[in-house]
């Protein structure tokens, strides 16, 4: 597969977690702080990301210190439009008694109006300790109609004696009880002695119902620079490959002092996969792990797989590298036929806002 990226860059209204509807329209979300609180806003594009119109407010919180958003949109087979997001309180008066949760909102009119759907998981860590939050959820419906919610979990590792670790957890929606059930660990280090900081999951379903989950991770050796990995499940998500072998690598810079972060994967054609991420590998010196997002020096790049994730293209192809201040890329397919696909990447330029770029992928 080869991709030719358009020279045009357009303003956008969101980044990772956007959704391409069956008619080709694009829905994107962003979090905005106002005088009356924090809001997650929904916008629509009818022209592949060139222009945008405000649609609705998905969720709001009057407390300006609340951390909400950072999820994705999911169109179910029954026509429901869902948005999953983190809803966390750990600032200000909640600094000593934080509350972390993953929640879902639903729209039954194409995004015009929204109501609460469910809470996937919520925790109130007690006592001193490292960050024990819940972050970056991803909502996914399998071809069989099973609704799954993946998210970053620092609380469960801490509870089980792995302080400072982060795993990817997944819960399954039970339509009969209308509750999230059967939590399972999707990704963590195979060797329990190794540091796990797995997160920002995105999932694709391939032939035979195989689920492939791509995650942002860290190297198992100091200084634990970022690396993009994948795990898989052959039984609908009940068990995952990390229990049998170490997580496979999607991409890591040749010089492992440099980082690859913030991945997002989508399926193109049949068993082809396209993964976007950010990396500092072209800078003179690497960023330090844990660098605050506004200070990262990252470009958006991509790699692809034509064999269902077994191997990935090298070297990584640059999507955007004009300012080196990028974060949260997302990718989706606008339209495709048997030989060619039009893909869209949205990303955050941390000093200027959200942008989009199109590409043409050819088999």
User: Quick check: 154 and 133 in contact, CB under 8 A?
Assistant: yes
Rounded distance, CA 277 to CA 202, Å? 12
The string of pLDDT tens digits covering residues 83-99 is 999 999 999 889 889 99
Supply the pLDDT for residue 217: 98
Please determine, for residue 284, whether its predicted confidence score (pLDDT) is greater than 90: yes
The string of pLDDT tens digits covering residues 143-192 is 999 999 999 999 999 999 999 999 999 999 999 999 999 999 999 999 99
Question: Which residues, 6 or more positions from 178, have their beta carbon under 8 angstroms from its beta carbon?
Answer: 118
User: Quick check: 266 and 204 in contact, CB under 8 A?
Assistant: yes
Alpha-helix runs per DSSP H in 153-256: 155-159
b/e sequence 228-257, b meaning 16+ C-beta within 10 Å: bbbbbbeeebeebbbeeeebbebbbbeeee
Domain that holds residue 37: 2-362
Q: Single out the residue of 114, 116, 88 nearest to residue 104, CA to CA.
A: 116
- For the entire predicted model, the pTM comes to 0.97
Q: What percent of the chain has pLDDT over 90?
A: 96
Supply the pLDDT for residue 127: 85
Please determine, for residue 128, whether its predicted confidence score (pLDDT) is greater than 90: no
Per-residue pLDDT, averaged over 241-264, amounts to: 97
Measured in whole angstroms, the distance separating CA 222 from the mean position of its chain's CA atoms is 25
Per-residue pLDDT, averaged over 282-299, amounts to: 94
Strand segments, DSSP code E, in 165-307 are 167-174, 179-187, 199-205, 211-218, 226-233, 248-251, 260-268, 272-279, 299-305
Rounded distance, CA 216 to CA 260, Å? 8
Rounded distance, CA 241 to CA 248, Å? 9
- Under DSSP, is residue 79 helix (H, G, I), strand (E, B) or coil? coil
What is the DSSP-derived secondary structure letter of residue 221? S
CATH number of the domain bearing residue 316: 2.120.10.10
Integer angstrom CA distances of residue 163 from 91, 157, 246: 21, 6, 20
Per-residue pLDDT, averaged over 106-116, amounts to: 98
Supply the pLDDT for residue 73: 98
- Give the pLDDT band (50/70/90) at residue 271: confident
The string of pLDDT tens digits covering residues 2-23 is 999 999 999 999 999 999 999 9
Count the domains in the chain.
1
pLDDT averaged over the chain? Answer: 97
The string of pLDDT tens digits covering residues 297-353 is 999 999 999 999 999 999 999 999 999 999 999 999 999 999 999 999 999 999 999
**Does 50 sit behind a cis peptide bond, omega within 30 degrees of 0 on the bond before it?**
no
Rounded distance, CA 44 to CA 55, Å? 7
Rounded distance, CA 206 to CA 220, Å? 28
b/e sequence 138-165, b meaning 16+ C-beta within 10 Å: bbbbbeeeebbbbbbbbbbbbeeebeeb
- Under DSSP, is residue 334 helix (H, G, I), strand (E, B) or coil? strand
Please determine, for residue 77, whether its predicted confidence score (pLDDT) is greater than 90: yes
Supply the pLDDT for residue 285: 96
Supply the pLDDT for residue 57: 98
- Give the pLDDT band (50/70/90) at residue 123: very high
């Amino acid at each position: 597969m080869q991709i030719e990226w358009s020279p045009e860059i357009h303003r956008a209204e969101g980044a990772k977690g956007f959704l391409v509807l069956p008619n080709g329209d694009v829905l994107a979300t962003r979090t905005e702080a106002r005088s009356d609180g924090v809001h997650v806003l929904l916008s629509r594009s009818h022209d592949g990301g060139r222009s945008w119109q405000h649609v609705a407010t998905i969720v709001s919180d009057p407390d300006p210190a609340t951390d909400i958003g950072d999820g994705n949109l999911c169109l179910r087979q029954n026509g429901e439009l869902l948005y999953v997001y983190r809803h966390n309180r750990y600032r200000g008066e909640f600094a000593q008694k934080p509350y972390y949760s993953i929640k879902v909102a639903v729209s039954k009119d194409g995004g015009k109006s929204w109501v609460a759907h469910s809470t996937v998981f919520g925790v109130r860590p007690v006592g001193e300790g490292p960050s024990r939050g819940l972050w970056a959820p991803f909502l996914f419906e399998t071809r069989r109609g099973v609704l799954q919610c993946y998210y970053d979990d620092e609380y469960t590792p801490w509870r089980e004696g792995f302080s400072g670790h982060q795993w990817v957890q997944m819960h399954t929606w039970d339509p009969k009880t209308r509750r999230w059930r059967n939590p399972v660990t999707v990704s963590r280090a195979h060797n329990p002695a190794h540091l796990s900081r797995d997160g920002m999951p995105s999932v694709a379903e391939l032939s035979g119902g195989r689920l492939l989950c791509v995650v942002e991770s860290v190297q198992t050796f100091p200084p634990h620079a970022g690396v993009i990995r994948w795990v898989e499940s052959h039984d609908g998500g009940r068990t995952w490959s990390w229990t049998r072998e170490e997580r496979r690598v999607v991409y890591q810079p040749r010089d492992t002092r440099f980082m690859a972060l913030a991945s997002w994967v989508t399926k193109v054609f049949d068993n082809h996969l396209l993964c976007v991420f950010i990396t500092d590998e072209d800078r003179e010196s690497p960023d330090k792990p844990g660098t605050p997002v506004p200070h990262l020096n990252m470009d958006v790049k991509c790699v692809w797989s034509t064999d269902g994730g077994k191997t990935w293209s090298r070297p990584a192809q640059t999507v955007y590298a004009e300012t080196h201040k990028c974060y949260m890329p997302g990718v989706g397919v606008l339209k495709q036929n048997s030989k060619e696909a039009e893909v869209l990447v949205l990303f955050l330029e941390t000093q200027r806002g959200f942008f989009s770029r199109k590409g043409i992928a050819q088999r």
